Amino acid sequence: MSERAPAPGGLALVEALVNTVDLGSGADLLDTADGRAALGVTERDVAGARELRESLRAVCLAHAGHPPHRAVTPLGELLARAPLYVAVDERDGSAALAPADTGPLLSRVAAAVGEALTEGTWLRLKACELPECHFAYYDRSPAGRGRWCSMSVCGARAKMRRYRAK
């Protein structure tokens, strides 16, 4: 649904994962071979990817000041299972968390969260406030108070609902 540019750095992976399902229609990219391939997820890993997706969505909703959409496994519990290591660049000595194995989605997401925490971008990844949407988006607004993934779609719908309610 989002008309916004993708989130920066590793957060683009997190955003893409959260946005694999359209809550309005129920269409789920993880049900398709192409959708799974885009995220590097095997058919065997779909249940875990869905659990991770919904835990990430709950955190994105929290970043936007909204309660979770449903009960989920706490994201911290899931990320604690991710095998990571500290990769050190020999040229400049910089260091970053990296997945111990580039395959597992959980490790790649954990490394992306670590990167976003270091860069101060983690709290800017939010979920649209409309219950039928909840798409993830990166809030680039100066005050960090974005509410919708798309002002022209979800924002317009919310404003029209408020207007009609008056």
* Tokens encoding 152: 């022209």
pLDDT at site 10: 92
pLDDT at site 40: 93
Residues 51 and 156: their CA atoms lie apart, in Å, by 31
User: Per-domain residue ranges for the chain?
Assistant: 11-165
> Mean pLDDT of residues grouped by 10 in the chain (166 residues)?
78 96 93 95 95 97 90 95 92 90 87 93 92 88 71 61 66
pLDDT at site 151: 61
Residues 47 and 21: their CA atoms lie apart, in Å, by 13
The whole-model pTM stands at 0.86
* Tokens encoding 43: 């058919």
pLDDT at site 100: 86
Domain 11-165: homologous superfamily in CATH: Jann2411-like domain (1.10.3300.10)
